[in-house]
Each structure stands twice: as C-alpha cells, then as structure tokens.
C-alpha cells in the first residue's frame, strides 16, 4: 500500500494554481505524473500524492517540473478567481465519488495519450516522407551529374574520332597525288623494266627518292588500367534511401554494450567457487559478517546473492539492516521496500519478516527526519506483532516527537 504524502504546499493567483510536492529522495526518472482537468496524481514508490481539484483547470496548458528534490506543478484555471481550498471539501468521506473521479481521469488520460501518440505517428511519417523525398532528390541529382559526365565523354570521344578520320582522308589524298606525279615523270624506256619497290625496304633494293611514301603518324592506343571500386560494408541489408544509419549504429552500440555486460557477469561468476554460487550460502555468510560487525563485507555478500537470485526477500531485508549501520538511509528504504514487495501475499509464515522490513524502513525514515512516514511503518509492524513491548515503546516515542514538532511550529 503506498504512503500518502501530506507535507505538500500550494499557492494561487487569479489565473493559476501552483503545487509543490517533496520527492523524499526519489530519483526524477522514477516520478510518474498524471493530470487532468479535475484530478492530479504524483507517484514515486512507495509514496503517492493525489488531489481532487476544487475547480476544473486547463489540462492542455498544465506543466510539471521535477528537480532539486521537488515536483512543481502549474495548473492554469479555467475560470479566474481564488479557490477556498485546493481539494473538494470532505471528498475523503465519499469513496464512490473518489473512485468515479479516478476512473474518469484515467479514461481522459488514456484518450489524451492516444491522441498524442497518433499525432506523433503522423509527424514521424511526415518526417520519414520528407527524408525519403530529399534522399531521392539527391540521388536523382547524382544520377544526372553522372549522365552529364558520360555525355561529355561521349561527345569528346566522337570529336576525336572524327578528327582522326579527317586526318586519315587527308593523308590518303596526299599519297594519291604523289603517286600520280610519279607516274607522269617516268621515261618511256623504263615502262618495260621491272618496277622497283616503293616501300622502305624490299629485298635490299634501293628505293627511289621520288617514290618514297610519306610516313603516317597514327595516334597512340589508349592505356589500359583497372579502377578499384570500394563500397562501405553495411550490417543491415537495406537500401540507402530507406536506411536509418544513426539508429542502426546506436542499436549496434547498445547490443555490444549488453554483450560486454553479460560477458563481464559471466567472467565474474566463473571465478567463484562452487559454494559461492549458492545464494543461500552467500546469505549465511553475509549474516555472519553482520554479526561480527563487518557491514561492508556483509553488503558485498548480499550483493552477489542478489545477482544470483533477486527473489529472496531476506537478502534485501538484511542488506537494508547493513545500510542502516552504514547510514545509507535511502538505500535502506529501497531494500526494505523491495523486501516488502517480495513478501506477498501476507501470511503467517512471513509475518516476522514483514515486521522487520517495516521497522527497518521506518527507522531509515526517522533518521531522515521523516517522522510521519516512519510512524506509518512502525504502526504497520505493530499491527503484525501487537504484543511487542519494545515496538510499542518506539512507536510512542515517534508520536511524541511528531507532537513536539507540531507544538513548536504552532508557537508564535
């Protein structure tokens, strides 16, 4: 059963209500806030603060800030004016009305979350569509650039080929002209003689100067080579336009960290002896260390027992006792609460263990000067073991402390 928070404070103006709730050492990430136009709840285990608002507020403009050990909530009023109270008068006497308001608030909260989820989904779809369009545009520009480069190279190669063909035609025409001139200048008596070769060398015969052909200079062949194309390796087989590279890398990083954590735990357990892998043996070892005053050694033994089995309530309860000795009161509250969660359902066999857990958590609250919460735990233990005289005396002392604090505050 959660502990009700009563030491809150609130102020108001004509248009807003401001509520401050102490978090009593709770971490901000463990604080759950639920607010509607007529109901507000702040839950941070084992504490609960709820208020049935005096008048409706504008839930859409309500804000909550959590930090410095306080939850500060701002509630804009729907109708300007000053409230006589923060909550509806005598609401605690009407259980049915409280239940009705809670159920109505939960229904409104679920509807609000559904609308927000739908809006967030639409926004993500729009962002995904925009990113896809942008990626397709970039890829189209890249393809256009590649196609332009190909067209330029094709035009350049065609121009070079036409120039080479033109040069070949010019050379052929010059050779034809030289041949005609050579035939016209030959004497008639040489027509019957054997024609001399006109090429550079043919069987060692001498080449006439007039018949020497002009050498043709052909363009050098293009050099051959290989172009190395490398692609970045991808773990996820998705197309580039559909991939979410940052999310994939984050997922891989988390998987690697999880594997490292698991391997570290396995290595730590592999180093243990056979009996040290038994949580019951570790609990007994921690109990012996606690009896000898070695509280740090006891905490270490209980920590290893928790790693092996998180379902043993006595380990958490005994570790809470060690934290009380070491004055780690917040950790003592957490371990006692965990032990009480495991000691369910309440039966006669676990009555003694439940009483011890309540006393240890109540002691930690009192050491933190949270006497009201401590008194609630001591009273819960007294219900379980009503004949315990020592527990009765401690409960009475806490009541006297609370009454003395209230008297000192009421004095002018």
The token duo for 333 is: 């509250």
| Average pLDDT score over residue span 380-399 | 92
| Sheet with strand 16-22: strands edge to edge | 9-12, 16-22, 70-76, 63-67
Query: What is the rounded CA–CA span in Å between residue 282 and residue 300?
Result: 9
**Residue 299, helix vs strand vs coil:** helix
pTM: 0.39
End-to-end CA separation in angstroms for the chain: 37
State pLDDT tens for residues 316-355. Answer: 999 999 999 999 999 999 999 999 998 888 888 888 999 9
State pLDDT tens for residues 42-100. Answer: 888 888 888 888 888 888 888 888 888 888 899 898 888 888 888 887 777 777 878 88
Cis peptide before 314 (omega within 30 of 0): no
């Amino acid at each position: 059963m959660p502990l009700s928070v009563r030491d809150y404070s609130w102020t108001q103006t004509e248009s807003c209500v401001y509520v401050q709730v102490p978090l009593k050492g709770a971490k901000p990430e463990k604080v759950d806030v639920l607010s509607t136009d007529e109901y507000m709840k702040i839950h941070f285990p084992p504490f609960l603060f709820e208020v049935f608002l005096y008048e409706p507020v504008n839930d859409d403009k309500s804000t909550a800030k959590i930090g410095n050990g306080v939850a500060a909530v701002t509630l804009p009023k729907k109708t300007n004016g000053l409230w006589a109270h923060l909550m509806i008068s005598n609401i605690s006497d009407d259980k049915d009305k409280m239940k009705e308001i809670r159920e109505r608030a939960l229904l409104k909260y679920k509807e609000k979350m559904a609308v927000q989820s739908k809006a967030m989904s639409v926004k993500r779809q729009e962002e995904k569509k925009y990113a896809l369009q942008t990626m397709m545009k970039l890829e189209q520009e890249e393809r256009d650039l590649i196609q332009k480069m190909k067209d330029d190279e094709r035009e350049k190669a065609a121009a070079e080929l036409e120039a080479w063909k033109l040069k070949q035609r010019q050379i052929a025409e010059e050779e034809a002209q030289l041949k005609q001139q050579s035939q016209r200048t030959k004497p008639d008596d040489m027509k019957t003689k054997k024609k001399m070769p006109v090429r550079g060398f043919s069987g060692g015969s001498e080449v006439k100067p007039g018949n020497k052909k002009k050498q043709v200079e052909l363009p050098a062949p293009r050099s051959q080579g290989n172009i190395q194309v490398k692609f970045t390796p991808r773990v996820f087989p998705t197309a580039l336009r559909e991939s979410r590279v940052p999310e994939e890398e984050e997922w891989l990083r988390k998987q690697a960290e999880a594997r490292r954590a698991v391997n570290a735990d396995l290595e730590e357990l592999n180093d243990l002896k056979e009996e040290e892998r038994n949580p019951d043996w570790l609990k007994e070892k921690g109990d012996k260390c606690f009896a000898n005053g070695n509280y740090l050694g006891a905490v270490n033994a209980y920590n290893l027992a928790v790693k092996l089995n998180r379902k043993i309530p006595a380990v958490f309860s005994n570790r809470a006792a060690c934290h009380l000795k070491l004055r780690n009161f917040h950790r003592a509250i957490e371990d006692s609460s965990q032990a009480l969660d495991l000691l369910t359902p309440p039966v006669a066999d676990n009555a003694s263990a439940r009483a011890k857990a309540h006393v240890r958590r109540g002691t930690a609250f009192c050491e933190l000067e949270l006497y009201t919460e401590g008194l609630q735990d001591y009273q819960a233990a007294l219900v379980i073991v009503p004949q315990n005289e020592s527990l009765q005396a401690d409960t009475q002392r806490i009541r006297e402390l609370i009454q003395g604090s209230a008297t000192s505050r009421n004095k002018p």
